[in-house]
Amino acid sequence: MTRLTGLLKDEIAAKGPLTVARYMELALGHPDFGYYRSDDPFGADGDFITAPEISQMFGELIGVWCAVVWRGMGAPKRVNLVELGPGRGTLMADALRALGVAPEFRAAIALHLVETGKGLRDRQKETIGNAHPDIEPQWHERIESLPEGKTLFIANEFFDALPIHQFQKTPEGWRERLIDVADRGGFCFVLSPPLTTPPPVAEELWDAEAEAVAEVSPASLSIARAIGERVAIQGGAALIIDYGHERPGLGDTLQAVKNHGFADPLTDPGRVDLTAHVDFTAIGAAAALAGAKAWGPVGQGVFLKALGIKARAAALIEGARADQAEEIQGAVARLTDGDRMGTLFKALAVMPAAAATPPGF
């Protein structure tokens, strides 16, 4: 039994079954035993591999995206560049390197990283610091402590790690899915008593058939709202890339990953990564409600091709050995093909209502 398993059981004994959101919050973010607080889960040897770890082109193109948007903002002398959940810092190091082509933008940047994990912060400091000793990032636990001012937000595979609630339709109506201690000692899903009001999910889902599962992530919506408000009032933009659905949908998307394979979300909390599909419509709507305008989502494949991934790959291949060239081609396919990361992964932009169409949308 992990330490966290014991703590979760104590909380269940004291307060009753946990919501899926509370379980995720502790399994990922417990200050001592949460998954993102402990080791370094990323990269080819970790539990999963994210787009920036697949190829430097991903971060580079995002850097260029930021530079173009900054120019569209009137090239302000000072701008906050904020990354939410920077992982190992690879995306940001690649993005900043690509800004060799936009030195005025690079010089305008105040870099802020929102990261709760201590181990990951150290990792980010090392990756970004080694590549860009002139840039001193500031770290934040939450977006509320970010400084005022025009801000560009980047979030890759951040929202999928935020806690969700799950509701299940039954013949007696909607109930919340909860997590309890099973008779044999592990954890199991149970259902709350029927809700007396409709669940806080998209209204179009309320009439779902029995057994259907609907999800909502209040934590995601509140961050999307805060981003929308900042962008609308102070200026800037946000680029959110993640995997998920365009329209609100039904289905249990809670998943656990360990050693590059699927695992049971209820086994070994704190030692497996837990994620859920991002509801892009809900995120865009939350940002729009705060006064900004949401663009997309568009598939990651379409987005990266519009930003010029093929031309970037061709330039890299020019000076490369045959095996490296093959690797670069492979990375393009992996990031953009419809049956790889090209469609399931999507990009959404949040802009001030009057701003021009952002690149790639």
Question: DSSP letters along 165-233, please?
Answer: EEEEEETTEEEEEEEEE-TTSSEEEEEPSPPSS--SS-GGGTTPPTT-EEEE-HHHHHHHHHHHHHHHH
Residues 157-196 touching ligand SAH, rule: CB under 6 A, are: 157-158, 161
- Among 19, 38, 116, 192, the residue binding ligand SAH under the rule CB under 6 A is 116
Instruction: Tell me the window of 104-112, 150-158, 296-304, 319-327 that interacts with ligand SAH (CB under 6 A).
Output: 150-158
Piece of the chain touching ligand SAH by CB under 6 A; list 130-138, 151-159, 182-190, 289-297: 151-159
| Residue 38 in the binding site for ligand SAH (CB under 6 A) | no
How far is Cα 132 from Cα 166, in angstroms, rounded to an integer? 42
Residue among 117 and 297 whose Cβ is closer to ligand SAH: 117
Nearer to ligand SAH, 36 or 303 (CB): 36
Give residue 4's region: left, alpha or beta (phi > 0; psi -120 to 50): alpha
Q: Is 45 helix (H, G, I), strand (E, B) or coil?
A: coil
CB of 167 to ligand SAH, least distance (A): 22
Q: Which range in 95-103, 115-123, 281-289, 346-354 contacts ligand SAH by CB under 6 A?
A: 115-123
Smallest separation, CB 65 to ligand SAH (Å): 15
Long-range pairs, 256-264, Cβ under 8 A, ≥24: 257/47, 257/48, 258/47, 259/47, 260/47, 260/48, 260/49
Cis ω on the peptide bond leading into residue 297 (within 30° of 0)? yes
Closest CB to ligand SAH among residues 158, 187: 158
Nearer to ligand SAH, 166 or 275 (CB): 275
Q: Which is nearer to ligand SAH, 146 or 205 (CB)?
A: 146
**Integer Cα distance of 243 and 223 in angstroms:** 17
- First-to-last alpha carbon distance for the chain, in angstroms, is 47
Residue with smaller CB distance to ligand SAH, 154 or 351: 154
| Residue 7 to residues 21, 209, 256, 336, Cα–Cα distance (Å) | 16, 36, 20, 41
| 357 secondary structure, DSSP code | P
CB of 169 to ligand SAH, least distance (A): 29
Residue 107: closest CA among 153, 152, 75: 75
Minimum separation from the CB atom of position 347 to ligand SAH (A)? 13
Whether residue 11 contacts residue 269, with contact meaning beta carbons closer than 8 Å, is answered with no
The residues in 44-103 that bind ligand SAH, with binding defined as CB under 6 A, are 50, 52-53, 85-87, 91
Query: What is the C-alpha to C-alpha distance for residues 258 and 119, in angstroms, rounded to an integer?
Result: 18
Ranked by CB distance to ligand SAH, the top (closest) residue is 85
Token pair in block for residue 118:
């201590």
Residues of span 11-30 touching ligand SAH by CB under 6 A: 28-29
Tokens representing 53? Answer: 């770890």
Give the angle subtended at the CA of 75 by the CAs of 72 and 77, to the nearest 5°. 155
Per-residue binding letters, 214-243, with ligand SAH (x by CB under 6 A)? ------------------------------
Query: Does 156 help bind ligand SAH (rule: CB under 6 A)?
Result: yes
What's the token pair of residue 105?
Answer: 């933008």
The CB-of-21 to ligand SAH minimum distance in angstroms stands at 12
Count residues binding ligand SAH (CB under 6 A). Answer: 20
Q: Which is nearer to ligand SAH, 63 or 87 (CB)?
A: 87
Q: What is the CA radius of gyration of the chain?
A: 21
List residues binding ligand SAH (CB under 6 A).
28-29, 36, 42, 50, 52-53, 85-87, 91, 114-117, 120, 156-158, 161
